[in-house]
Chains A and B, each alone.
Chain A
Amino acid sequence: MIACILVPGFELQAALHDRPRLCLRAAALAPLPGTEPLLGPVTAAAEAAGVRSGMRLGEALATCPSLVLVERDALLVQTEWEQVIRRLEDNGFAVEPVEPGCLYFDTRGVERLYGGVAASLKRALAAVGSTWNATAGAADRRFAALAAAAIARPGQAVVVDDERTREFLAPLPLTLMPLEEGRRAELQDLGIKKIGQLAGLPGSAVAERLGPDGRRAWSLARAEDATKVTARTPATDLVERLEFPEAVANELTLRRALTALLDRILARPERGGREIRKVALSARLVGGGSWRRTMTLREPSGERGTLRAALGPKLAELPAPVLSLGLELLTLSESEGRQLALVPPEGEELETRLQEGLRQVRAHAGAGAVATVVEVAPWSRIPEQRALLVPRD
């Protein structure tokens, strides 16, 4: 079975961790600067005052003048989420994180360990921690697991019977479907308000009226989506952070701090001489915000100069003076060194280099980003039956 763990409003919960008193007041996550002024998740008190997530900022402040806007803290969210994932991984769950507050795992690997699906979910919820108000759901399809987790109460797990997935989904509201607001409104105008009503429509009519997104939503509603869980490779814990006694905005000082961080992180014995493929640079900004940039290197490198040249320009993107600067090694190469070629590579070496390139693409774009075209029926008169795209992970 596929299990889903949901932490509703994770970004807001993370931001309120060190300000617990705000949890009891009307508070909402502020919109990102430079984006449409729409509110993020809101607290229960804000909801009681009529403020909803996704509401326009002006409308929300008019509805509830005492609303407190909480600034988004990307670094804190990332750190807290990583800790949640690691706690789950420490308990034996091979998880696929989708976004902060939502992840999937396959229960097959842990059912015998914990004594069944329900016990595994209970264990997973305990690993996440009771402070996050997480919910869990399990079903034979990803979307059904997500829907089960979405309707569960905090700390509760809902398990959907294998043969009753469609029956389970049918009475649920369309708001659970991953559809654009316009498409959802269009369906509601046509009287389609439940997932079961959407599933009952002819597929061709849905595709013609709502396009590929509608067709996908239709197959999700019919529990036909067979997407499996692709667990991540547990991350390496190589992080170095430098705290400044006072806020620093001077680029020269920041570059020196970066050099010091590089020296410290390259000397870490856990690296074992392996080269760095993907790295993240983060900063805590003066005034409470944070900043984070990830970067995949064109070629893995363990040289300080190369890394400094690659990361240095990122410091110019810092939006405000910083209180601390952090460096994290996200992906390392598998080998320790590379032999340069005197003659053009061919045969096995060419293959090795191709594999290396593919690993680089995967590190940047994620698992499943590289696929092979496999001809299955090249003689077929039906074009889509001639070849398959098969992931090369």
Chain B
Amino acid sequence: MSARLNAAARLNEPRPALVAEGFDGSPQRVNRQGVEVVREEWRVLDRWWTEEPVNRRYFEVVLESGQNVVVFRDDERGCWFSQRGA
């Protein structure tokens, strides 16, 4: 989040992440760090009745550094993001 806000901003906005995925679509490397373990996986399908449907496959992973990160693949846009508060 930037230090200054001029208008209301969303909390926990997704941030683009660099993810290398395995054959089953699960993340193998996140932001150039290897994934030690995938702790949890879930899917969010929402707003399919609108023009901006949400179709995300979330993974909670532990990286080599011991850091816990939640990443998701946005199947609508075909790219990966990391997110807090998920």
Contacts and interface: CB of A to CB of B under 8 A. Distances in A.
Contacts, number: 74
B7 A212 contact: no
Contact of A211 (B8, B9, B16, B54): B16
Interface in B1-50: 1, 3-16, 44, 46-47
A386 B11 contact: yes
Prevailing SS type, chain B contact patch? loop
Prevailing SS type, chain A contact patch? mixed
Contact of A391 (B5, B47, B79): B5
B79 A204 contact: yes
Interface in B72-86: 74, 77-80, 83-86
B75 to A, nearest CB: 12
Given A204-B79, A383-B86, A391 B16 contact: no
Interface residues of B, number: 28
Nearest to B70: A383
A197 B44 CA distance: 33
A interface bracket (residues with beta carbon within 8 Å of B): 20 to 34
B16 A212 contact: yes
Interface of B: 1, 3-16, 44, 46-47, 54, 74, 77-80, 83-86
Given A204-B77, A384-B11, A386-B11, 15 more contacts: A204-B78, A208-B79, A212-B15, A215-B16, A227-B7, A368-B5, A371-B5, A384-B10, A384-B12, A388-B9, A388-B10, A388-B11, A389-B8, A389-B11, A391-B6
Interface of A: 204-205, 207-208, 211-212, 215, 226-228, 230, 365-369, 371, 373-374, 381-391
